[in-house]
Amino acid sequence: MKPIVAVIGRPNVGKSTLFNRITRSRSALVDDMPGVTRDRHYGEAIWNDAPFLVVDTGGYLIDDEDAFAGAIREQVMQAIAEADAVVMVMDGKNGISPYDRDLVTILRESHHRVFYVVNKIDGEKQEENLYDFYTLGIEKPYPVSGEHGYGVPDLLDDLVSSFPEAAAYPEEEDEVINVAVVGRPNAGKSSFINRITGQDRLVVSNVAGTTRDSVDTMVKRHGQQYRFIDTAGIRRKGKVKEKLEKFSVLKAIKSMDRCDVALILIDSSEGVTDQDVTVAGYAHEKGCGVIFVFNKWDLVPADEKNPKLFKERLDMGAKFLTFAPYTTISALTGQRVEKIFDQIHSVYEQYNTRFSTGEVNRIIDWATERTPPSLHKGKRLKFFYSTQVSTKPPTFVSFVNYPEAVHFSYRRFLLNQLREYTGLSEVPIKHLYREKSGRIEFGPKADENTNMRNKGHKDKESRNKEKKKKERKEQSKKKQLRDGRKA
């Protein structure tokens, strides 16, 4: 496993900005408002050919004025416990805070490799602000600017040199299945991930919108690595007004770009809503595998516990995802939570399946012979051959003489035939059409034409010029003969 570096500090000192600078990304949300980060957010970084993991954490507070202060403190302490090195960030503009003293005391007792960083130092002239921080008993404070990069290379040089030898951290070559957990606010997404990890990995509360960032969590089951991506709740666009929530929703939707399977959590106690269908539409547009998870099943009245009825209501709105499997769970009690790994693995296997060109051709040939396509302007549509061009999702291409003439109903028929006879019954598949004339070109190739012209053979244009030149010579001779006879 790679070395882990925890970035900690009180609220609004620039931890997420420094995290983005070290990881060379914009994966952590940044805002002037304190308390944006609440969960532990992991990112990969590399410096001097040494890879390591960076953990962004929420702002550390002792008092409980913030409703999430206690949960955030626990997340910070967990990050410190699992880290190989800690980077404590302080504010070089506003000076020392009592929370800084508390954190320094905690780190002295719990960790031996700590790098104290004074952020918001944008140049040498501002380094005089460091003197106050020596009163904390710090031997070497690092002046840096997370926003502009000042001093960051010196910090990373010393940080990487403190790691053990690279051989102690072998590279993991296991295939990772990426799973995004998406849904409406307060559907139980964070509780679900906490249940499968067996720990309080994410901050959970009854307040809708607790999760703001997209947070990755690694889980291993039966020798298979899974990366679960917890996301912010996706509300209706008309209700999203704050800038921070807009960014959270955008990141939640974008997280489906890098997932193989999307778990769409639905609050069973509230039933299927239009927003659940909208979220399903986002997943369908991204082309990822989908599993509908009806959470809070323990809150559904006994006389209404009919999973098929819930799925029928969902299919009425999301007809484009009728093939997607579904399950009922309770993240609170753990009911059927572990069984979802079998479904994820089944969907991923289909999502990553590849078929030979011969198999695809046989399916398409059999389907077109049994049910021929309609004529196009009196001409028959010819399917020359078909093949699979990619996976994730499985994508097939058929080469025909008139691709634009294939009616949408016939396209749907062929798509259903592919789904039925390939066994891809639980994942989205794509069937594209490309033009192929079927004519055989007997003439020489372009480079051969060039060689032939170079050897003295003339193309059509040069032959026409030669012909006109001969005609002018003949006309000139005839004129001379006529003039000679008149003389």
- Cα separation, 80 vs 332, in Å, equals 27
Distance separating the N- and C-terminal Cα atoms of the chain: 109
CA angle (180 as vertex; 173, 252 as ends), nearest 5 = 125
Distance in angstroms (rounded) separating the CA atoms of residues 158 and 139: 14
pLDDT tens by residue, 250-274: 778 888 888 999 999 999 988 888 8
Q: Which amino acid is at 183?
A: G
- What is the reported pTM? 0.70
Q: How many residues does the chain have?
A: 487
Beta partners for 91? 119
Separation CA 87–CA 6 (nearest Å): 6
Q: What angle do CA 462, 465, 470 make, to 5 degrees?
A: 125
Give the dihedral sign, CA 59/65/71/74.
Answer: positive
Q: What are the DSSP calls for 29-74, one per residue?
A: ---SSTT---S-EEEEEEETTEEEEEEE-PPP-SS--STTHHHHHH
What is the predicted pLDDT for the residue at 442?
44
Q: β-strands 261-267, 176-183: how paired?
A: parallel
Give the DSSP per-residue string, 310-377. HHHHHHHH-GGGTT--EEE-BTTTTBTSTTHHHHHHHHHHHHT----HHHHHHHHHHHHHHSPPPPBT
Residue 171's pLDDT is what? 54
Residue 235: what pLDDT?
77
Residues of the chain scoring pLDDT < 70 = 1, 29-36, 38, 63-68, 111-112, 165-174, 201-213, 237-245, 247, 437-461, 484-487
By C-alpha distance, which of 121, 2, 4, 8 is closest to 75? 8
Element holding 278 (H helix, E strand): helix 274-286
pLDDT attached to residue 304: 86
